[in-house]
Structure 1
Amino acid sequence: AVRVGTRHVEASLQSYAHVKFEDPDRAPGPRMAAAQRAAIAGFHQTGDGRWMYIHPGFAHNTESLLELFGHPSNEDESRQVVASWEAPQLEREIMRRGLCSAMVRDPEEWDASPMGRILNARPVVEIIQVGDADPRPAGAGPRPLTDYKVLDLTRVLAGPTCARTLASYGARVIRISAQDLPHVPLFVAETGLGKRSAHIDLKSDSGRSKMRELIGEADVFSQGYRTGALERQGFGVADVVREKPGIVYISINCYGHEGPWRSVPGWEQLAQTVTGMASLHGNYHNDGRPELQPAAVTDYTTGYLAAYGALAALLRQREQGGSYWVRVSLARTGVWMRGLGLREATTYRPFDDEEIRSYRAVAQTEWGAMHHLRPAVELSNTEVLWKQPPVSLGSHAPAFTG
């Protein structure tokens, strides 16, 4: 039997907010605390009366946006600068520079747009057979994924949540990063449950060789890079399937894997912004001013959907053979969630500390005791849990054991 607590699921869409460290002084720090970043981030109205969500991203992206806007020092200056642009023009310029921000659209505008039509025509979770391979026999371990190995080349929330979910079913997961990639320390801890962590430099011959060695052992390869980035390093879906027939390759991005925005970087907030979620939520709660959902709904949900796709593909591989490509995106998830409708505000019941404590477990980590949400799924015959505490990035050698 499978049991899923709906309130527990609801809490899991704010999972990082429910992490508590017994010693706050040892807890992983915030991404950055620059005043300029805070001043420019969020919804701003443009000169044509429309709205933009300005997302500074990581530090190097923040500096590029600040340069575009003339380094505003406070929110008033930021509003004035954004108001000097028309929204479509500003969105195009920001995307041209490879940065992250987007114009607010209502559902009808997104659905009628070229990108919306392409993305909305795709399934929420795509599972595509991309090669032939013999079936892999079922493992003999006590948990569903005991004998399976997962390479996790993702960061922030959606991708790491996918691999963390597979780890909760017993998979051996190693998170691969690079020393020069920025991360959000709290997210690293919260999504690192059940994982080893290693650094590999894919720009070096030795790093690429080590990655191919790990692919030879892996059953799942999960990545959240921009479309085309890993292909240039020799680790696109065709490369990985050729290296390991029978593997399940997962691609996670913001705007989907086809169409004019397939290589545009994005975040949770931008998926809500473009698909009409922020518009709907604002019309309902905020007198028409766009407003985000009070949770990372597309990030976490996309991560869980990616894990679902991986499980379905692994089952198909076991029964029929083949190599599979699982594709999900934050924006496609957003459209799906938008279609579920809005709940009446009067039916919402906030979480109190006692209820959240009932969903928590404790991991002993390098940062001290970390109270975190348990998986929301319970299985009658097998455990769903994480047996390894989170660690700092690069804490292990690049190997599944050791």
Structure 2
Amino acid sequence: MRREGLRTAADVVEELAAETGLHLPAVQVTGDDPVLPSAFRIGTAAAASIGAVTAAVALVVEERAGQAARTAAVHEGGIDMAATAGAAVEVSGPVGPVVVGMREAAVAFRDERYLLVDGEATPMWAPLSGDYRAADGWVRLHCNFDHHRDAALRALGLALGSGREDVAQACARRAAADVERVVIDEGGCAAAMRSPAEWRAHPQARAIAGTPVVGVARLDDGSPPGRIDDGSTAGSRPLAGVRVLDLTRVIAGPVASRALAGYGAEVLRVGAAHLPEVPGAVIGTAFGKRSCEVDLRTAEGAAAFRELVAGADVVVQAYRPGALAALGFGTADMAAIRPGIVCVDISAYGANGPWAGRRGFDSLVQMACGIAWEGGDGERPVPLPAQVLDHATGWLAALGALAGLLRQRAEGGSWHVELSLARTARWLDGLGRVDGRDVVEPDPADFLAEMDGPDGRLTYVRPPGRIGDLRPFWSSPPPRRGEHPPAW
């Protein structure tokens, strides 16, 4: 039932379609908020972002059906290609209704909580990660990576190996903003808790206020309109033949490429031996992918990566803004290597503004943007009951990738997609509020599946959404890190 003044998830899908330049089919959303214990409309954000991706895949299915029809007609000698170039081709009609359940979408936004390996949960948080009371408020430290942990300890004047109580005492002696500053300056990750009003007045909030949730821009590199595939994969999985390079870690970026893998894209995750990982996140987000290691800092690694880019359709990366460009693989560089490519960039706080280069993660952005403040009582931070910014940004990044592919087909050029966790936070805030603090969390049992992996029996959340009877699935378990060669 539609609530007065609140947009439905289907309304939000239409807004996302307009922003990305797509004419998406209607999305049927079953259920309504609240589905998780929060005043924020998490279910709506989940259903809308997942629904938009599912609808975009439906467009790809119809596009491929049209390509198959054109190919068949040409083979029969029945089409004058000069007369019909660019014309629409009648196909059998919509592939089926696009349907997303709000409960399944909410469970998918918490999937790392339900991942089991041989019945055991996988750790997601390091001992020093968490919220600490400062002299004048609260601050959060993100210490899941050892080098971020060590940076925080150095910044606070503590010995390596210090425990949580030592960190708590050090934070209590300083202002929250001071802890944030010294940890960031030392190369660590931190965020002081701000109220929504404090965040709105912040220069970084103003820098991203006028930017789109999913920025999709054409690079006029002279590349002609292409096609989603050459027709040889018609009748197979929707994204079969689409090659995706995944240069991301933790949740947001890996969720984006995993969503594409769910519909048959060939996803190759590119890591490096010197880059740390969160084991639970690596397992949970690597379904349907292959995994290789390439050190872009070396001549050999750069050459290998250049070959991968030359064969890719999409690159998803979540390095800090400018980091890949410094290695010779910025968006313009990759478009020169592979004209017609779609480059998807994900950052914590956006590509512009004083915090553009700042390291960040979902929990930190919730603190900085006022979400954790609002979730509590203004005295103690309370985060969302899901890493909504990560998951929503991941699904919206997948939407951006699909928009780039579809618009490249129609308009030519290469495409640049930009998203940030902070901009997604503003989008979530704009969806409004519901009375959901006492809601019982949904039982995930209906949405779980099992698969054998290299390290044991995996219990995981199935990918959500469907197009008629067509449902996404992952064709392979998470690989071991660096298991595959850097090649298509």
Q: Same fold (TM over 0.5)?
A: yes
1:9 corresponds to which letter in structure 2?
Answer: A
2:101 counterpart of 1:5: yes
Could you tell me how far 1:381 is from its partner in structure 2?
5.5
* Cα separation, partners in 2 of 1:227 and 1:11, compared to 1, 3 Å: same
* Match for residue 391 of structure 2 among 280, 300, 319: 300
| Aligned structure 1 segments of 4 or more residues deviating by more than 6 angstroms | none
What's the secondary structure of 2:376's corresponding residue? helix
**Match for residue 207 of structure 1 among 301, 305, 313:** 301
- Tell whether 2:450 aligns with 1:362: yes
| 1:307-386 map, 5 Å | 307-345=398-436, 348-352=439-443, 356-380=444-468, 382-386=470-474
Task: Number of aligned residue pairs: give it.
Answer: 385
Distance (Å, rounded) in 1 between the aligned partners of 2:123 and 2:452: 20
Shift of 1:87: 2.4
Cα separation, 2, equivalents of 1:344 and 1:324: 40
1:149 to 232, 237, 243: 243
| Aligned counterpart, 2:224 | 134
> Counterpart in 1 of 2:157?
70
1:197-247 per-residue CA deviation (whole Å, 9 max, x = no partner) reads 111111111111111111111000111111121111111111101111110
Contact 2:408 2:414 in 1 (8 A): yes
- 1:97 and 2:190 matched: no
Aligned-residue offset at 1:341: 3.0
Measure, in 2, the Cα distance between the counterparts of 1:218 and 1:381.
29
1:126-179 C-alpha deviation (Å, 9 max, x unpaired): 011123321112323323211210000101010000000011111100000001
Tell whether the 8 Å contact from 2:151 to 2:187 is kept in structure 1 after alignment.
no
**2:151 and 2:183 in contact (8 A); partners too:** no
Aligned residue identity for 1:114: P
Q: CA deviation at 1:52?
A: 1.2
Measured in 2, the distance between the counterparts of 1:77 and 1:248 equals 46
Partner-residue secondary structure (3-state), 1:227:
coil
Question: Which is higher, the Rg of structure 1 or of structure 2?
Answer: 2
* Offset at residue 383 of structure 1 (A): 3.9
Give per-residue Cα distances to partners, 1:109-137, cap 9 Å, x unaligned: 11121100011211111011123321112
Q: Which moved more, 1:74-83 or 1:378-387?
A: 74-83
Amino acid at match of 1:80: Q
Q: Which whole-Å CA distance do the structure 2 matches of 1:208 and 1:76 have between them?
A: 43
Quote the Cα distance in structure 2 between the aligned partners of 1:344 and 1:393.
Answer: 43
After TM superposition, give the deviation of residue 399 of structure 1 in Å. Answer: 1.6
Q: 2:483 aligns with which of 390, 395, 401?
A: 395
In the alignment, is the contact (CA less than 8 A) between 2:115 and 2:461 conserved in 1? yes
Tell me the equivalent position of 1:82: 171
Identity across the alignment (%): 38
Instruction: Give the aligned partner of residue 18 of structure 1.
Output: 114
1:372-398 alpha-carbon deviations (Å, 9 max, x no partner): 111111111544111121111101111
1:311, CA displacement in angstroms? 0.8
What CA deviation, in whole Å up to 9, does each residue of 1:293-342 have, x standing for no partner?
12111111110010011111111111111111111111111121122233
Where do 5+ consecutive residues of structure 1 fail to align?
Answer: none
Tell me, in whole angstroms, the C-alpha distance in 1 between the residues paired with 2:432 and 2:468.
Answer: 32
Alpha-carbon shift at residue 88 of structure 1 (Å): 2.5
Whether the aligned pair in 2 keeps the contact of 1:131 and 1:245 (CA below 8 Å) is no
Match of 2:380 in 1: 289
Q: Are 1:251 and 2:322 counterparts?
A: no
Contact 1:143 1:382 in 2 (8 A): no
Residue segments in structure 2 that go unaligned for 5+ positions in a row: 1-96
TM-score (normalised: structure 1):
0.91
Q: Is the 8 A contact 1:23 1:368 kept in 2?
A: no
Aligned residue number for residue 234 of structure 1: 328
1:143 and 1:74 mapped to 2: Cα distance? 50
CA contact (8 A) 1:31 1:183 kept: no
Q: TM-score, normalised by structure 2?
A: 0.75
Q: Which amino acid is the alignment partner of residue 197 of structure 2? A: E
Return the offset for 1:46: 2.2
Range moving further from structure 2, 147-156 or 15-24: 15-24
Q: 1:346 to 1:31 in 2, by over 3 A?
A: closer
